[in-house]
Amino acid sequence: MNFNNWKETTLVDKSVQQLLKLEQNQELICQFFRELITTESTYRVLQKFDQIFIDYKPREISDSVNQALQYIIKYNAEAVFLATIKQCCYILVYPLIKAKKYADLSNLIHLFHEFAPESDSKITFIKSGDLIDNKIRFWVNKFSQTSSYQELKLLTYHTESDSFTHWTHRYLEYLFFIQYFNNDNCQEQRDLAIIIILRIQKEFKFNLAMYLTKSQFGNKNLTNPTILNENILRFIKLIAVRKGNLNYKNLAHLFLQQTKDLSYFKFHLSFVKYLVFSLYDKKSLEIIETKLATKLQELYQGNNEKKFNQAFLLRTCNKSFDLLLTNNGKPSDLFVLLMTQSNPYTLVILLLKIILISPNSQNHLDKKISELVGYYQNYPETECKWFISFLEAFRITFAIYADENVQYNLVKIKETPTDSTLSSNLDCYQFFFKSKKKPK
């Protein structure tokens, strides 16, 4: 090995060692907080967080944590510092959210108040000539201007609905799905996102069931969990009247029974017929039978003669969600086409039909819906009313058909003309629901 090669190898080795050392120091600080939350009060934990990251007080910090922090600063590892403070925030927040200690959560967010862009406070970066303190304050200020800080603030919107500042805050579960599906986020953040998502969904389902039942009897002192106003009962009834032999769950079961012995080629032909069955919107019917069918025919052409199985089912349904919703994080051509040439409820029913035959695709569907919300959150509400209608229809439909805790029943309370259709006599029916489990 010549001298130049030896020198390059040595520099690479030193760089790798330095990176490992930085990661070790980051983990040391995070582990300090993991242990602290199990032994100290929330007040003491927040106080220690303040002494390390906000109002730096080295004499109040253990030597090991202080040395780890100073090592990160010494090597000007801004990215490591930002990742460390973010992870520590979620280590602190996780038990607070789980225990519903929302006041303490607000106290943590308030620690960043003077650094936040909306704050009127003037930040002093040079304090008593302390370069370490100066660097920490400079980096904390940068953190307060990142998307990571905005994601942290979403936690307060989850606990304080009157603090909503953007139309997407009404659909917080999808914003938290964005955090969950981002593999770059720390595990504490992703785990917390799932807890909040399940909590929001349970609360919405329960509130929807209560509203639907009580509003039918003239109770005006109710909070509508949707924004569909007076149209909500009629829309919900139109979904729920599909009971009996032709309800969506029975259709899904029948489809799976009839296709289990088919080849993959024949299966995806039957799949398209299943999707368009009882679809009365001619424009949507044409889009599905031509454009979606053509795309699906291109899938797995080398496997056309193989027997259909669960793996093919999962991949076909996941690919259908890609085609119908998003492509590389942006609205797909079919999504835009269906939304502009049809109504949002048609697409919602198509998504429901797919998930009923492939429940294991739910994770993929959630990811696709969250990608749509992430894309359209950059647009004002006035330009997204059609998309908001889609989200409302989606939430309501899946709350009814995918809810394991609430059973909806539509009961006839008046006689209807024999020659009339069910949907034209919805006032002759009322909702009743039975709660299988009480929401936590």
pLDDT at 3: 44
CA distance 72 to 80: 7
CA distance 319 to 316: 5
308 three-class SS = coil
Contact predicate 227/381, CB 8 Å: no
Contact predicate 276/286, CB 8 Å: no
Under DSSP, the state recorded for 130 is -
CA distance 242 to 250: 10
- Hey, what amino acid is at 259? T
Under DSSP, the state recorded for 121 is P
Burial 223-252 (b: 16+ CB within 10 A, else e): eebbebeeebbebbbebbbbeeeebbeebb
pTM of the predicted model as reported, rounded to 2 decimal places: 0.87
Tokens standing for residue 289: 């039978």
pLDDT at 129: 47
Measured from the Cβ of residue 288, the count of other Cβ atoms closer than 10 Å reads 23
Q: What is the pLDDT along the chain (440 residues), one digit of tens a residue?
A: 454 554 445 445 567 888 899 999 999 999 999 999 999 999 999 999 999 999 999 999 999 999 999 999 999 999 999 999 999 999 999 999 988 888 899 899 989 887 765 554 555 544 444 788 889 999 999 999 999 999 999 998 877 666 677 899 999 999 999 999 999 999 999 999 999 999 999 889 888 888 877 777 767 777 888 888 767 767 776 776 665 546 888 899 999 999 988 888 888 889 999 999 877 777 888 888 888 888 888 877 777 778 888 988 999 999 999 999 999 999 999 999 999 888 888 899 999 999 999 999 999 999 999 999 999 999 999 999 999 999 999 998 898 876 666 677 777 777 766 555 555 566 677 777 776 655 44
Contact predicate 152/109, CB 8 Å: yes
Tokens standing for residue 422: 């069910």
Beta bridge partners, 432, equal: 409
DSSP 228-274: -GGGHHHHHHHHHT--GGGSHHHHHHHHHHHHTTSBHHHHHHHHHHH
**Rounded to whole angstroms, what are the CA distances from 320 to 325, 398, 405?**
8, 18, 28
252 alpha-carbon distance from chain centroid: 26
Under DSSP, the state recorded for 54 is I
**Rounded to whole angstroms, what are the CA distances from 166 to 109, 175, 330, 378?**
19, 12, 20, 10
CA distance 423 to 410: 12
pLDDT at 422: 53
- How are the residues of the chain apportioned to helix, strand and coil, as percentages rounded to the nearest 5? 70, 5, 25
Which single residue is written with the structure tokens 């990215």? 79
Q: What angle, 0 to 180 degrees and rounded to 10, lies between the N-to-C axes of helices 232-240 and 385-401? A: 50
CA distance 73 to 254: 63
Tokens standing for residue 47: 């106080």
**Rounded to whole angstroms, what are the CA distances from 187 to 25, 121, 182, 440?**
18, 33, 10, 24
**Rounded to whole angstroms, what are the CA distances from 62 to 20, 28, 66, 70, 319?**
22, 12, 6, 12, 53
Q: State in Å, rounded, how far the first CA of the chain is from the last one.
A: 67
- Hey, what amino acid is at 365? L
Tokens standing for residue 415: 């006689």
Torsional class of 300: left (φ above 0), alpha (ψ -120 to 50), beta (otherwise)? left
What is the enclosing helix (H) or strand (E) of 34? helix 3-39
**Rounded to whole angstroms, what are the CA distances from 249 to 201, 233, 336, 353, 373?**
21, 21, 27, 8, 27
Tokens standing for residue 38: 């199990």
**Phi, psi (deg, nearest 5) at residue 418:** -65, -25
29 three-class SS = helix
pLDDT at 7: 46
Among candidate residues 173, 238, 159, 250, the one with its CA nearest the CA of residue 204: 173
Tokens standing for residue 115: 């650094």
